[in-house]
Amino acid sequence: MRSAVRTSVAFARRVIGPVVQPLRRALGNSRARLERFPAHGRGYISVIIPVFDVEQYIDACLDSLLSQDHWRLEIIVVDDGSTDATCRRVRRWARRDPRVRLLVAPHGGPNAARNLAIPHARGEFLTFLDGDDVLLAGAYRDMGRLLARTGSDFVVAGYDRLIGEERTPAAFWIRDAHAVTRERVTLTSFPQIMVNSVQWSKLYRREFWLGADLSFPVTGHYQDQVVSAHAYSRARAFDILSRPTVAWRIREDGSSMTQRFREGQSIQDRFDTSHRALDVYRAHAGEAAARQRLVQYLSNDIAQMALHVESLDADGWVRMRAGLMTLADRISESSLWDEVPAEFKVVYDLIVRDDRARAEEYARRGGFDLLQHRLEYRDGCPYVALPFWEDAEAHVPIERFRAAPRELRAFADAA
């Protein structure tokens, strides 16, 4: 049923979108020219977009924004020292539509660009978008209506992936966190939402952003994690919107930072940022939130890097091993390890013990293909008979094979 709905929606988007979007863009443009931007910014959304060499994507990005039915927008594009035609394309949009403004800065990275733009934002709400992503129809309408009804500090929505022109769902842990719309949530009441740590799926009250003194760390990458940790921890309440609002582009050339799973510095940045976010949760939300986020990292974020264990270069292997050792040191309770999927616990054990040959063999033998293996019970406890199960020479402790709750659900669903 859900698949049929998605198919019909996709068909409607292809047929109706090319007609409706230009009309919305033109109507928003004319209204913006007639209405003077109010001093209090009421009803306006300030959208900050850092761009660097995205000339082939920026037109689609800005078109998706200006075609929103929520037309009260202030779009601040910060050109981060582009060397291609990005800046020229943005200027063309700014000449045609007063809602687009361009700031130009020397290359300092996307976080420095975001920080540069924030003081220029005048809207009631504040949000961020990347120059290669696409905002989905009705996104800001639905997010704004939810915040107007609840009075929460911000709203976090789901997102899709975009490969070429094809949209696909995000990872299952994102879909699970956004299974239903939730109003006035706190981190204590729904800690699962920490898995959604990106900024382009959130709409903040600017008053909350400034009051919480939020900003982007400018060194390293993946700093969305740290900003989200502060926001989730400090909000009085936030809303969770079930629908996706952004199509996150997966570049087919693998050039975007979030796709660099194999590079040593990228791996180091992921671990460093994870530690910083965990420290924020511990300081502002308590030990329980930090523990749950640690399990999420080991089950999802770090696990995505482990999937590429066969293609890591020497530097990547060293940094992966060192990062895992420091992250594992944070686990003081065996019950936390029980929540991490066995398919990753086993390879983590091999990596930490510097057994690269077996770690690569584990991947070749389908260690990351859970349902290829059988579920076994010993003394009432469930284990997954993954590669090196009962292999005395591999020296992988039996507790690393213990099935996590989500693996048990996967086996049950497949039965």
Instruction: Tell me what pLDDT residue 11 has.
Output: 53
Helix axis angle for 224-234 and 264-284, nearest 10°, is 10
The gap from C-alpha 411 to its chain's centroid, in whole angstroms, comes to 27
Instruction: Tell me what pLDDT residue 262 has.
Output: 53
Instruction: Tell me what pLDDT residue 287 has.
Output: 93
Q: How many CB atoms lie within 10 A of CB 151?
A: 12
Non-local CB neighbours of 292 within 8 Å, separated by 6+ positions: 191, 194
Q: How far apart are CA 189 and CA 192, in angstroms?
A: 9
- Intervals of CATH 3.90.550.10 along the chain: 2-257
Count of alpha carbons within 13 angstroms of residue 150, beta-carbon side: 24
Q: What is the torsional sign of CA 325, 327, 329, 331?
A: negative
Tokens coding 179: 């299974």
User: If phi over 0 gives left and psi between -120 and 50 gives alpha, with beta otherwise, what is residue 375?
Assistant: beta
pLDDT in tens, the chain (415 residues): 545 545 555 555 555 556 688 889 988 999 999 998 998 999 999 999 999 999 999 999 999 999 999 999 999 999 999 999 999 999 999 999 999 999 999 999 999 999 999 999 999 999 999 999 999 999 999 999 999 999 999 999 999 999 998 999 999 999 999 999 999 999 999 999 999 999 999 999 999 999 999 999 998 888 999 999 999 999 999 999 999 999 999 976 655 444 444 567 889 999 999 999 999 999 999 999 999 999 999 999 999 999 999 999 999 999 999 999 998 888 877 788 999 999 999 999 999 999 999 999 999 999 999 999 999 999 999 999 999 999 999 999 999 999 999 999 999 999 8
User: Which is the CATH superfamily of the domain at 2-257?
Assistant: Spore Coat Polysaccharide Biosynthesis Protein SpsA; Chain A (3.90.550.10)
Contact 291, 319 (CB under 8 A): no
User: pTM to 2 decimals?
Assistant: 0.91
Q: How many CB atoms lie within 10 A of CB 153?
A: 21
β-pairing verdict for 45-51 and 73-80: parallel
Contact 78, 100 (CB under 8 A): no
Tokens coding 317: 């292997």
Instruction: Tell me what pLDDT residue 259 has.
Output: 42
Tokens coding 174: 């994102």
